[in-house]
Chain A
Amino acid sequence: MARVIREGEPVLLEEMSSELLQSFAQGSVHAQFMIEHEYRSAIVAPLIARGRTLGALSALRLGAGKAYGEEELELFCELALRAALAIDNARLYSDLRRVEQRLEAVLASVAEAITVIDGEGRTIFANQAAADLLGYATPAEVTSAPPGSIMSRFLVLDEHGRELDLEQMPARRLLASGEQPEPLLVRNIVRATGEERWLIVRSAPIADPEAEGVRYAVNVFEDITDVKRAQLTESFMAEASRVLASSMDYDDTLQRIARLAVPRIADWCVVDLLDEQGQIRRVAVHHSDPRKLELARALDSGYRPRLDEPLGVPEVIRSGETRIYTDIPAQALAAYAQDSEHLRLLSEIGATSVVIVPMIGATGAVGAITLVSAESLRRLTSADLGLAERLGRRAGTAVENARLYTERSRIAHTLQQALLPSSLPQVPMAEVQARYRAAGELNEVGGDFYDVFEHDEDSWMLVIGDVCGKGPRAAGVTALARHTLRAASMSGQGPAEMLQTLHLALLRQPPDADLCTVCLVQAQPAREGLRLVVALAGHPPPLLIGVDGETVALGKPGTLLGVLDPIHITERRAELHVGETLLLYTDGVPEAGHAQEGLGEEGLRELCRAGRTLSLEGLLELIEWTALERARGSLRDDLALLALRARAGAKIEIG
């Protein structure tokens, strides 16, 4: 038997003599046993399966019967062959089970969903993760699903929102072409629930051993929903922040936000603001289909939400808390609707889920953003709340900032108007015109000022000045200057004295007060034209523009006010004849534009020449617009112009 196993060849022993039996007995007892039992004839056949010897099969005939012959040997060898195959199959099967169990244990423990698809598109294997991902209870349910029925449970979109069909999936392409496809990023939406998942789908081939080509495709689905959402949230927020920071016109930026949100986050985006009167105002509605927007318009015109309503946008604005409706049953919609037309419009929108987030600023909710999913299948879930709430806070802050800014510019404008005369008085024998333009931002009060008032019974005072600096502090100094000069005038002081008074008032201001320059011109109508007294305190001298356009600077430079003490002010007298013009200006006029391109004093004089035939208003307009042009629309200092033109008129009897 050992030889048969060793050599793999069958042996037939037709007649076994006692010598033969003794030769392979394993001792005398064994030999005695075989002789006593009359061992006569034997066949030993090897058990060989798939080229491997598993053992041997032996048959023994005792006593007087017929000895084994060739015929029995052949039969017995056939039997041994079958037995060997059966034994080997049983072993192979149990090995396979073990491997399979091990493999299943491994696949079950990996987080990635794995399926195996055969050439007919049947799923022949799925792990538990795959069953979970595909919405089945067990892997067995997946493998018993008919081909194509799995994919039909999902809306499968690519990264750009285009729908993909079965043939574009990597496994199908692999089975069809045999070529290894690139991993595919897909956005999977479960049709039944609207649940969204981002997946990377990879397919690897299992070759067909019997034929060329691919027999199975192994699918590995990697769920990157969290990563992808975080990434989309960040890029959306970055873009939204850019839009919100781009302008102070929040109606416009909120409309752009609504357009940004559709279709990336939702099918509809609506923005409502709470205005200062406590009314809810719809600022933006967006949907990618303009026909749908008609519905929104009809809703807004007929059923605008009021702040005291118990549900929806009003409730979110009142409470400052987010509301999410992941499921909107028909009866809830019917209960919410105010009448049948309202219900019809709401039903037509077909919302499947709604998120309403408050737009929160430092002082509370200033409005709400409503995101609605409808026909796209994708439902809004609590996973969308993070993004929506961040958007609400960012937009709320932007709206609040813009409102504060508008409020500040309104205050600044009011203040500025308070610092300037609301109208200029009539000066006999003369025409008076003024121009003022503050530099820079709307919400900064400029430091330039001018004033014209009756000084005494027969003369008028023209004031132009510049407080260095801007904003509330400069406005305070400007107000002080204007009112001090008026008070000094009323107490009967002349121009130089008035400037001394203002200087003392400024010195009593807190230290480091803004310095101030002033030009005062006392104008007294005379028989032909006006008599002038000019006093300068650190201010550019006024220009006397002759009828021919030639200019002369009047006055003697004096010390600016409020810093160096004492100051030296000199009064100078001059005559303004009929047709001549006196132009008072602040340094923002010649300094408009950058050093080399600036208008300059010479440029200003040239403009006066060029504009000699213009009306007084026309001349000031020419100067203002030229200065603006030189500054390319962006003044670095305020501009103030005050002009007096002597005109022929009814002669006035003086004294």
Chain B
Amino acid sequence: MSVGEHLRIEVRRDRDRTVLALHGELDLLAAPQLQREIERCEGNPADTLVLDLDDVRFIDSAGLRVILAAHQRAGERGGRMALTPGPEQVQRLLSIAGVGDRLQTIASPDALLV
């Protein structure tokens, strides 16, 4: 677990996935922290990365950029990345950014990946 100024990231490894549960605000200040945490998880290329956004109170374009970059890299190495839908503000931002349908969304971090 790493603790930032206002973002807390819980890392949990399951058999087929690594789950990063984000708590707090994912903005310009917190984005590098998520970036580092994701890079640490990318050591195992076959792994699936799940971002649990249910407790993200705020996300901005800097936070989105980190998520999109991780999504791109997962595609490039043949891995997968999925998100939980998160609260309304997160959903709205993903929808405005026009990326909601491009990222795989799962109902809960442990849900089956298809």
Residues of A within 8 A of B (CB): 466, 468-470, 512, 514-515, 517, 536-541, 557-560, 563-564, 567-568, 587, 591, 594-596, 598, 601, 636-637
Contact = CB atoms under 8 A, between A and B. Distances in A.
Contacts of B113: none
A559 B98 contact: yes
A637 B98 contact: no
25 contacts: A468-B61, A512-B69, A515-B65, A536-B98, A537-B98, A538-B99, A557-B100, A559-B97, A559-B99, A559-B102, A560-B98, A563-B65, A563-B68, A564-B68, A564-B72, A564-B99, A564-B102, A568-B98, A587-B60, A587-B61, A594-B58, A601-B92, A636-B27, A636-B60, A637-B28
B7 to A, nearest CB: 12
Contacts of A637: 28, 60
Contacts of B61: 466, 468, 515, 517, 587
A469 B63 CA distance: 11
A197 B101 CA distance: 80
Given A468-B65, A563-B69, A564-B68, A595 B57 contact: yes
Contacts of A538: 96-99
B68 A557 contact: no
Given A512-B69, A515-B65, A563-B65, A541 B58 contact: no
B49 to A, nearest CB: 17
A468 B66 CA distance: 11
A558 B99 CA distance: 8
A514 B60 CA distance: 13
Contacts of A515: 61, 64-65, 68
For the residues of A in contact with B, the DSSP-based class is loop
Nearest to B31: A468
Best-surrounded residue of A517, A537, A563 (most CB of chain B within 10 A): A563
A468 B96 CA distance: 15
B87 to A, nearest CB: 10
B80 to A, nearest CB: 16
B98 A558 contact: yes
A468 B98 contact: no
A559 B101 CA distance: 10
Contacts of B72: 563-564
A568 B95 CA distance: 13
Contacts of B58: 591, 594-595, 598
B65 A514 contact: yes
A564 B73 CA distance: 11
Best-surrounded residue of A469, A539, A560, A567 (most CB of chain B within 10 A): A560
Given A514-B65, A636-B27, A637-B28, A541 B96 contact: yes
